[in-house]
C-alpha cells in the first residue's frame, strides 16, 4: 500500500501541473464510478496529501477525494499518449490544460461538497499528518495516550492517531529506536514517543525524492534494515529477522528479537 511519502510525492507532482487550470473534460467508469459532470469548468485550486488520502480542491467548492488502497495510482499523460495501464481500470479521467490526469484502481473515489468534506466519516477522524509543514506533535501524543495498552506497532498504523505511516516505516523506525513493536504504547514516555515520531518523519522526508524506498543510507547492500527480510540475518547483530501479523487487519511487522527485546512491564 502507498505510504504517506508516496502520496505526498504524488500531490506535489499533480499540483505542479494542474493547479490554476480548468477541467475541460471529466469522465468516470467502473466500480468506483462517480458523477464527474459537476467538475466540468471548475478550476483546480490545490492538490493536497492528507496522510494516505489525496484531495483535489475545485473552485466551485467541490473536492475530489481518492484513497489508493493497495494498487491505486494517479498518472499524467499528454492527449493521445498511450496509457501504461488498461483503460477499464481508469476510474476517473480529467482533461486539464493539455494534460490528462487518470486515477487508476482507487480504493476510494468520491466527489465531495464542502459539507461532505467537513463531515466525512474518515477524513475528520484523521490524526496529525506526519509530513505536514506544521506537524502537531502535542496533539499526536494526546492521541497516543488514549491507547496505552495497545502495542506500539499497531498504534503507529492507526491513522486516527497520526496519519501517513505504513508498514515499512513502522518496522524500520521501531528497529532504529530499538523498541519492540509489541511493547504497550504506555511503556513509552512522551519523550520516547516524540523521538520515535521524529525518526519516522525524518525517514519519510528523506524518501520524498526518488522512487525506491530506503532507510539505510550511505551503506552498501540492503536498502532497509528489517522490512521484508524475514529469515535473513539482522544487519546489526546477525539474529534472524522475524515477522508477525499485528492488529485486526493482520498487518505484517518485521523485527529483530535481539535488537528489539520486549520491555518488561510487570513491575
Burial (CB count <10 Å: 0-12, 13-18, 19+), residue 80: exposed
Q: Which residues are catalytic?
A: 2-3, 52
Rounded to whole angstroms, how far apart are CA atoms 83 and 267? 60
Nine cell digits for residue 121: 466519516
Nine cell digits for residue 224: 532497509
Rounded to whole angstroms, how far apart are CA atoms 162 and 178? 20
Strands in the chain per DSSP E? 23-28, 44-50, 53-58, 62-67, 73-77, 90-96, 99-104, 108-112, 242-246, 251-255
Looking up cell 509543514 gives: 133
Name the DSSP class of 184: B
* In contact, 133 and 170? CB cutoff 8 Å: no
Q: How many CA atoms lie within 13 A of 86 on its CB side?
A: 5
Q: Which of 91, 90, 67 is nearest to 164 (CA)?
A: 67
Amino acid at each position: 500500500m502507498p505510504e504517506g511519502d508516496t502520496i505526498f510525492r504524488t500531490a506535489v507532482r499533480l499540483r505542479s501541473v494542474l493547479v490554476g487550470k480548468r477541467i475541460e473534460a471529466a469522465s468516470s467508469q467502473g466500480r468506483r464510478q462517480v458523477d464527474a459532470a459537476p467538475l466540468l469548468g471548475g478550476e483546480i485550486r490545490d492538490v493536497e496529501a492528507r496522510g494516505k488520502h489525496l484531495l483535489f480542491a475545485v473552485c466551485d467548492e467541490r473536492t475530489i477525494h481518492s484513497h489508493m488502497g493497495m494498487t491505486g495510482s494517479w498518472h499524467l499523460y499528454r492527449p493521445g499518449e498511450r496509457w501504461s495501464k488498461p483503460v477499464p481500470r481508469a476510474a476517473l479521467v480529467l482533461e486539464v490544460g493539455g494534460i490528462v490526469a487518470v486515477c487508476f484502481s482507487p480504493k476510494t473515489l468520491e466527489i465531495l461538497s464542502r459539507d461532505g468534506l467537513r463531515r466525512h466519516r474518515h477524513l475528520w477522524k484523521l490524526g496529525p499528518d506526519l509530513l505536514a509543514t506544521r506537524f502537531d506533535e502535542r496533539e499526536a501524543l494526546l492521541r497516543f495516550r488514549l491507547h496505552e495498552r495497545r502495542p506500539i506497532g499497531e498504534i503507529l498504523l492507526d491513522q486516527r492517531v497520526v496519519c501517513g505511516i505504513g508498514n515499512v516505516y513502522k518496522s524500520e523506525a521501531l528497529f532504529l529506536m530499538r523498541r519492540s513493536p509489541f511493547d504497550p504504547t504506555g511503556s513509552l514516555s512522551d519523550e520516547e514517543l516524540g523521538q520515535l515520531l521524529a525518526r519516522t518523519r525524518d525517514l519519510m522526508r528523506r524518501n520524498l525524492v526518488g522512487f525506491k524506498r530506503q532507510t539505510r543510507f550511505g551503506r552498501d547492500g540492503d536498502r532497509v534494515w528489517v522490512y521484508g527480510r524475514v529469515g535473513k540475518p539482522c544487519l546489526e547483530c546477525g539474529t534472524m529477522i522475524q515477522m508477525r501479523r499485528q492488529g485486526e487487519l493482520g498487518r505484517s511487522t518485521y523485527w529483530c528479537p535481539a535488537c528489539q527485546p520486549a520491555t518488561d512491564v510487570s513491575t
